[in-house]
A and B are shown apart, each in its own frame.
Chain A
Amino acid sequence: MTTPHQQLLARRQRDTDLLLNWISRFSLHLVIIILAVLCLIPLLLIVSASFTDEIALTRNGYQLVPSQFSTEAYALIFRNPGTIVRAYMVTIFVTGFGTIISLTIMSLLAYALSRPDFVLRKPISLIVFFTMLFNGGIVPYYILMTQYLRVQDTLFALLLPYFVVAYYVLILRTYFAALPAELIEAARMDGASELRIFWSIALPLAKPALATIGLFTALSYWNDWTTSLYFIRDANLYPLQYLLYIIQSNAQAMQLQATVGTINMGEVPTQTARMAMAVLATGPAALIFLFFQRYLVRGVTLGAFK
C-alpha cells in the first residue's frame, strides 16, 4: 500500500507531466503554425495582388490588403469563361485518371521489386533506375508520341508521360520492403495467392505511402505544362497550368518582338491577371488536397504495424 503522501507525490508528478506534456505540445504547434504562416503569406500576397488595381500594384508593390481594390484581372480572365472552365475540367480529369492509373501500375511493380526472393529483383531495379537518368531527349520522344502512338492533341498525350516515375517506384519499393514479413508469410500459409496478398495485405498497410506517392503524382499532373507545350495545339485541351504558362510567356514573346521594332500586339496580360491566374490554378488544388488529406489520416490507424 502506498501512503497518502506517496499518492500525493504521484498525483503531483502526474500533473507536472501533464503540464509539461501540454507545454511541449503547445510549442510544437507553435513552431508548425509559424512555418505554415510563412507558407501562407506569399499566397495571401498573390490573392491580394490579384484583387489590386494594376497601376496601384506597380506603384505600391505587394501588400497584404489591396491598396486599391479591383476585380478587373478576374474580369479579364473570365471574359472567356469557357476557356478556364474547360481548362479546369481537363486538369481535373487528367490528374484524377492519371494518378489512379499511375499509382496502380507503379505499386504493382514496386511490390514485386520489394520481394527479396524475386529473382529478377536486381536487374529490373537497375532497368528502372537507369531511366531516371538517361533518356533520348525530346526529339525521339516527340516522334514516338506523334508518329507511332499518334496521341498529339488528345488527352492521352497528357496522361501517358507520368505513368511510371522511377523515383516513386523506388520509394514505394522501400515502403513495401518494410512491411512485416511475418504477416505476408502467414497469409501464404493460409494459401493466399501473391496477388491477393498484394491486394488485401500490402496495399492497405501501405496506405500512407500510397497517399504520399499519389499526392506526388497528382502534383506532377496538376503542375505539368511542358507536355501541353509539346503536344497540345487544340486550345480546348489546354490544362490550367499551361494556360498560366501561355499567359506568362506571351509577355516574354513581346520582348522578342521589340527587337523587330514592333510593339503592336494584341492584348497584353497584366501583372494582376497573371496573379489571378495563379490563384485560379492553385486555390482549387489546395481544396482538393485538403479533401484527400483524410486518406493520409485514415492510413494512421491501419498503418500501425511491426
Chain B
Amino acid sequence: MKNGLTRRGFLKGIGAAAAAGGMSFSGLAKLAAAPARRYQGLPTLVYMFPGGVQADVARVQDALNAIAAERIGATIELRAVDWGAYDTQISLINASGEAYDLAFTAPWINNYYTNIGQEYLAGIGDLLPELAPNYYASMTQDTWNAARVGGDIYGGINQQIFVKPFGPYIRSDVLEAIGLADAFNSMTSYADLEPILAAVKEFADSDDTLTHATSNLAPLSIAENWGFDPILQYLVVKGTDESAQVQIYTQTDEFAQAVETIRRWYLAGYAPSDVQQWTEMDAAWQAGQIAVRVADIVKPGGNAEVAARWGWDVTSRALVEPMLTTGGVIATLNGVGSVSANPELAVRYLELVNTDPLFYNTLCKGIQGVHWDWEDEAQGLIRPAGGAASFADTGYNPNTDWMFGNVFNAYYTDPSQVGAWPETAELNRNARSSPVLGFTFDGSNVQTELASISAVSREYADPLGSGVVEDVAAGLATLNQAMLDAGIERVRDEIQSQVDAWKASRA
C-alpha cells in the first residue's frame, strides 16, 4: 500500500513534469512572438545582460517598446541571464556565432578585451558621433579614448563613478563608542588608521558581538591606494609620472610598505587568523562582528549604500586623490555584437538609453504607478508603488542602474542618496587624469607570460596581501623572483613599448 502510493505519486510527478515542460515550451514560443505582432515590420534589438529575470519584464518591455518604436524605429528584447551564468553563456554565444545586438561588457565580466580580440564586438567609433550625437558629446574625448582599442571604440560607456577614491569605512556606532570620530575624520593617510584599528580591537575584546576590527586587510595592497594606475594587475604607472614609466608593482616601495603594514596589523590581531572568503566577510559584517573596511571606494551616496546593504550606519573617509584611469572609465560598457544585423539601430538605442531619462528609468525602475511612484518629483526621488515595502516587492527591480546607461539620469530611491549624482559627476570632472588615460594594452604577444604571472602572483602575492606570510622580506623576494621567472619583465617591456608608441601617436 505504502509503496503503491509512493509509486503512483512518483508517476504523477513525472506526468506533471512532462506537462510543465511542454507548457513552458509553448509559452516561450508565445512570449517570443508577442512583440513581433504588436510592432510588425520593426526590427527587434536583442539586449543581453546579467541579472535575474524580473516577474514583470514583459510589461516593462512593452512600455519601453512604445518609446523605442517611435524614437528609433525598433523594438527591444531584454534577455537577462543569471549572474552566475552570464559569463559562460555569453562566451558560448559569441564563440558559436549566435547573433545578438547589444550586450553588457566590461573588463570584469564578459571581458571587453577578449571580445575585441576575437572580433565579437563591432567597432562603433564612426557611428557614435553621427547616430548618438548627444550621448557622444556628454563625455570628453579623453573619456571616450579609454574605450578605444586599436583606434576604434567597441562599447558605449555608462557614466557613473569613474574614479576610485579609496579609503576606510567604519561603523558609526563603534566610532562613537571609541570616541575617535575627530581622529577618523581628519585622517590623511592609512598610517592614521592604525590607532583607530587598535582602539576598535580593544573595544572588540570587551564586546560580545564584535570579534575583530576587520575581516580583510588585503584591499590595502591594491595599487590604486598608493596612487598608481594599474594597466594590468601588477604592472602600473604612477599617477604623477608624466613620462609614463611602467613599473612592476610588487617591486615598488609602496607595495613593500603596504604588505609590511598588513603583516603588522595581522599580527596585532585586527583581522581573523584565517583568510576570510567573501561570503564570510559579508555575513560577518551583517552580523555585526566587524566594524571596519580598511580600503574601499568612498563615493557620494556610498554610506547610504552600505547601510542599506548591511544594516549598519557607517562613516567613511577618502584617503586617495581621485584619478581618472582607463580601467575606471570602462568599468561598465554596452557593446554592439559584431554579427548584429542592425548595428546602426543598436547605436541609436545607446543614444536613447543614455539621454532619455524616462526610457532609462523605465528600464531601471519599471513603470510609474505600477512599480514606482514619485516621493518628490522635484528632487527626482521615488518610492515603491502601491504601498509595497521595498522595490524588491514590486515585480520589477533589476537594481543595476549602472549596467543600463548613464546613472546620472537615474531616479533616487532613498532620501539619503539625493544629490549624489551631481556630486559624483563633479568628482569625475575634477579628478586628475592618469598619464596613461586612454591607453589600452594588447596582450596577444605575451599570452604564456600572462598565464604564468596570473598563476604565481596568486600564489605569492595574495598571502603577502592577507598578512599570513611570516617573513615579509623573504616573501617579497620569493614573489619577485617568481614574477621574474614567469616573464614579467617581458610583459613590462611589451607594455612600455606600446605606451611609448601610444604617446608618440598622441603628440
Q: Using a CB–CB distance below 8 Å, which chain A residues touch chain B?
A: 54-55, 57-59, 86, 88-90, 92-93, 96-97, 138-139, 142-143, 146-147, 153-155, 229-230, 233-237, 245-246, 248-256, 259-268, 270-271, 288, 291
Contacts and interface: CB of A to CB of B under 8 A. Distances in A.
Contacts of A57: 283
Contact of B284 (A58, A245, A255): A58
B211 to A, nearest CB: 8
A153 B309 CA distance: 34
Interface in B372-423: 392, 397-402
Contacts, number: 147
Given A59-B289, A233-B89, A263 B17 contact: no
Contact of B92 (A142, A255, A262): A142
A297 to B, nearest CB: 13
Nearest to A237: B24
A146 B331 contact: no
A266 B399 contact: yes
A146 B95 CA distance: 12
- Interface residues of B: mostly helix, strand, loop or mixed? helix
A252 B278 contact: yes
B25 A154 contact: yes
Given A138-B92, A229-B89, A230-B92, A86 B20 contact: yes
Contacts of A288: 10
A246 B84 CA distance: 6
B21 A249 contact: no
B79 A256 contact: no
A58 B283 contact: yes
Contact of B21 (A90, A248, A267, A268): A90
A116 B146 CA distance: 68
Interface in B207-237: 209
Contacts of A234: 24, 28
B470 interface: no
B89 A89 contact: no
Interface string B85-114: 110110010011010000000101100000
A260 B331 contact: yes
Interface residues of B, number: 62
B18 A250 contact: no
A59 B291 CA distance: 14
B309 A59 contact: no
23 contacts: A54-B283, A54-B287, A59-B287, A89-B20, A92-B10, A92-B14, A93-B21, A97-B14, A139-B95, A237-B21, A246-B82, A246-B84, A253-B84, A253-B109, A256-B108, A260-B160, A261-B164, A261-B331, A262-B402, A264-B309, A264-B402, A265-B399, A266-B399
Contacts of A97: 14
Interface string B274-302: 00001100111011110000000101000
Contacts of B84: 229, 245-246, 248-250, 252-253
A92 B399 contact: no
Contacts of A260: 106, 108, 160, 331-332, 402
Given A250-B83, A264-B400, 5 more contacts: A246-B83, A246-B85, A250-B84, A254-B282, A264-B399
Nearest to B79: A233
B306 to A, nearest CB: 7
A291 B96 contact: no
B106 to A, nearest CB: 7
